[in-house]
Amino acid sequence: MNQDKYIEIQDVEQTFKTKKGTFPALRDINLTVAKGEFVTLIGHSGCGKSTLLNLIAGLTMPTKGVLLCANKEIAGPGPERGVVFQNHSLLPWLTCFENIYLAVERVFGGSESKAQLKARTEAALALVGLTPAASKRPGEISGGMKQRVGIARALSMEPKVLLMDEPFGALDALTRAKLQDELLEIVARTQSTVVMVTHDVDEAVLLSDKIVMLTNGPAATVGEVRTVDLARPRNRVALADDPQYQQHRKAVIDFLYTRQAHVEKVA
Ligand SMILES: Nc1ncnc2c1ncn2[C@@H]1O[C@H](COP(=O)(O)OP(=O)(O)OP(=O)(O)O)[C@@H](O)[C@H]1O
């Protein structure tokens, strides 16, 4: 398999049927993601970032074109693609441990013992530093902790690809920075391939190997792809003064606020 084309998106178009007729959300999307690559999707609100991520997750099917993961057509959700949503979508009546265990059981329950499933769940909690919160319910922990449980749950399924839709969107700046740093460490350790939706230019530059900039909708498409070749591990404090970092940042800001100045359109 070609490692440079782990995920392949070929001529994808997505339209939605609405009361007012057909709404073209995405057109002519062509994109590849290499194995182990960290790719962010950035663009103005409503341009189609979540629509594209949902297609990769297999939650929706494209109107035209094809999406492949490891040379296989994406025909629905699969355990090789773990999804983290902005609202963490935990089951409120289950503890943090149980929320993760449920996912682990779904993927590995057929082949592993209860003790093994429990060990996997504990390892996932430890990975995001949440062992002490194992027996708490989502209502008893902070937004940042909930988000970490969501990430742990996705990682516990050992997905080859981690798909994240603005995972830190609802968090305060400090918690967000801490989780970004944790995510960088986890991804370096697990060598995961990541596709993440964000609104945040600094987040995109800090985390990405590749930033995919989408044009405004309707009929949004890939406007520019920027390779971020900053060395890893990355340190946010050191990077703040790095001229290369500033250049990447400026290029994305220029795309978003000069070339794609925003006029909101809704379906
Ligand atoms: N199921 C649907 N039916 C009709 N229109 C839809 C549907 N899903 C999305 N859209 C429209 O498609 C466009 C893209 O939506 P999408 O949620 O992908 O944008 P986004 O870039 O993720 O936005 P945000 O950054 O605000 O989350 C929007 O105009 C939206 O109204």
Whether the Cβ atoms of residue 255 and residue 62 lie closer than 8 Å to each other: no
48 CA distance to ligand 1 middle (Å):
5
In the chain the beta strands, taken as DSSP E runs, fall at: 7-18, 21-33, 38-42, 64-69, 72-73, 81-84, 161-165, 193-198, 210-214, 222-227
DSSP label at 5? G
Instruction: Tell me if residue 233 falls in helix, strand or coil.
Output: coil
Instruction: Give the pLDDT of residue 62.
Output: 97
Q: Please, what are the averages of pLDDT over each run of 10 residues along the chain (267 residues)?
A: 88 96 97 97 95 96 97 91 82 96 93 96 90 96 90 87 89 86 86 94 97 95 97 94 96 92 59
14 lines ligand 1 (CB under 6 A): no
Instruction: Tell me if residue 195 falls in helix, strand or coil.
Output: strand
Protein residue with least CA distance to atom 9, ligand 1:
51
The yes/no answer to whether this complex scores an ipTM above 0.95 is yes
Pairing assessment for the beta strands 64-69 and 222-227 based on DSSP bridges? unpaired
Other Cβ atoms less than 10 A from the Cβ of 178: the count is 16
In the chain, where the domains are located: 91-158
Instruction: Give the pLDDT of residue 263.
Output: 60
Instruction: Give the pLDDT of residue 174.
Output: 86
Instruction: Give the pLDDT of residue 265.
Output: 52
Instruction: Give the pLDDT of residue 266.
Output: 52
* pTM summary value: 0.91
The atom of ligand 1 lying closest to the CA of 214 is 21
Q: Which of 49, 203, 216 to mutate to test the pocket of ligand 1 (most atoms within 8 A of CB)?
A: 49
Instruction: Give the pLDDT of residue 1.
Output: 66
DSSP string, 93-151: TS-HHHHHHHHHHHHHTTTS-HHHHHHHHHHHHHHTT-GGGTT--GGGS-HHHHHHHHH
196 lines ligand 1 (CB under 6 A): no
Whether the Cβ atoms of residue 132 and residue 124 lie closer than 8 Å to each other: no
Integer-rounded Cα radius of gyration of the chain: 19
The atom of ligand 1 lying closest to the CA of 18 is 4
Instruction: Give the pLDDT of residue 264.
Output: 56
Instruction: Give the pLDDT of residue 170.
Output: 76
163 vs 198: CA distance, rounded Å = 12
50 lines ligand 1 (CB under 6 A): yes
Instruction: Give the pLDDT of residue 2.
Output: 73
167 vs 147: CA distance, rounded Å = 7
